[in-house]
């Protein structure tokens, strides 16, 4: 069997680069392109390990050392463990997908037995599919982070009663009481608050205006941070967000 070493090194460089680049995109690391290329070259050079007689444990330690050098070359020492973790995570995701494709197109099964049908996943197909897999994974990771990075645990204390709610910070929520200048935290209208004293706060939105029934809380704790200068407003409509019962005002952004 012929092994084209230059082709193997080139393919190894390609996969190492997209894994490192994906790690950079997910973690938003400010790394220069030249550093990513250098790190990928180091990774592709590890192909020489195939020609060194090593036992499994020694090979594992050597691969771990090379991974550390790759991360240090690409991103430096800042957030090292986080970068290394995501580097391995992306590698596992990509490797798992390619292995699944290889098994699906290389083997056929008869009952519980699998036979090689002579087809091998083409390198060209792998090179085309791999960036697509990485792109979809990075896109999903960013979407997940954007969705959940602004979610908080909120505790509202009113009349010795605690309302524990899952909340989200809305940069478009600038609602304030025009008299006291207190920001308004909106909660779902299905949450029953038993308090006799309340006030109405006027609001203006796109092509609409009205008033919101508000309560003055004893205190509000958001992710262990205390907020006092605020009001609790009862939304007129039910929130459509999953499991979200509370919308925090934009003025809380700096404190959170």
Confidence of residue 169 (pLDDT cuts 50, 70, 90): confident
Place of tokens 């463990």: 81
Confidence of residue 114 (pLDDT cuts 50, 70, 90): very low
CA–CA dist 247, 55 (Å, integer)? 57
Q: Residue 1 has what pLDDT? A: 46
CA–CA dist 202, 209 (Å, integer)? 7
Tens-digit pLDDT profile for residues 61-96: 888 899 999 999 999 888 899 889 989 988 888 877
Confidence of residue 205 (pLDDT cuts 50, 70, 90): low
pTM of the model: 0.55
Give the class (CATH, top level) of 151-252: mainly beta
Q: Residue 113 has what pLDDT? A: 44
Tell me the backbone φ, ψ of residue 209, rounded to 5 degrees.
-155, 160
**Nearest CA among 156, 166, 250 for reference residue 194:** 156
Compute the average pLDDT of residues 239-244. 73
* Extents of the domains making up the chain: 5-148, 151-252
Compute the average pLDDT of residues 91-117. 62
Q: Residue 75 has what pLDDT? A: 92
Counting DSSP H helices and E strands in the chain, the numbers are 5, 11
The larger pLDDT score, comparing residue 15 to residue 123, is at 15
Q: Residue 54 has what pLDDT? A: 74
**104: which 2 tokens?**
């699906």
């Amino acid at each position: 069997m012929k092994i084209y070493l230059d082709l193997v090194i080139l393919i190894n460089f390609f996969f190492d680069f997209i894994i490192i680049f994906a790690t950079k995109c997910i973690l938003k690391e400010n790394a220069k392109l030249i550093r990513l290329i250098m790190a990928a070259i180091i990774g592709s050079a590890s192909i020489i390990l195939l020609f060194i007689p090593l036992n499994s444990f020694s090979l594992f330690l050597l691969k771990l050392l090379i991974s550390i050098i790759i991360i240090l070359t690409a991103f430096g020492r800042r957030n090292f463990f986080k970068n290394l973790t995501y580097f391995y995570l992306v590698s596992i995701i990509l490797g798992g997908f390619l292995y699944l494709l290889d098994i699906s197109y290389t083997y056929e099964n008869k009952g519980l037995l699998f036979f090689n049908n002579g087809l091998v996943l083409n390198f060209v197909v792998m090179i085309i599919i791999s960036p697509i897999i990485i792109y979809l994974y990075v896109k999903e990771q960013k979407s997940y982070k954007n969705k959940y990075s602004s979610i908080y645990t909120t505790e509202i204390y009113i009349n010795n009663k605690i309302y524990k709610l899952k909340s989200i910070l809305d940069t478009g929520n600038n609602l304030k009481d025009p008299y006291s200048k207190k920001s308004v935290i909106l909660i779902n209208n299905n949450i029953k608050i038993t308090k006799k004293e309340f006030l109405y706060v006027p609001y203006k939105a796109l092509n609409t205006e009205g008033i919101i029934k508000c309560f003055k809380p004893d205190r509000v704790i958001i992710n262990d941070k205390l907020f006092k200068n605020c009001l609790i407003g009862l939304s007129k409509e039910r929130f459509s967000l999953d499991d979200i019962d509370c919308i925090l005002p934009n003025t809380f952004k700096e404190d959170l």
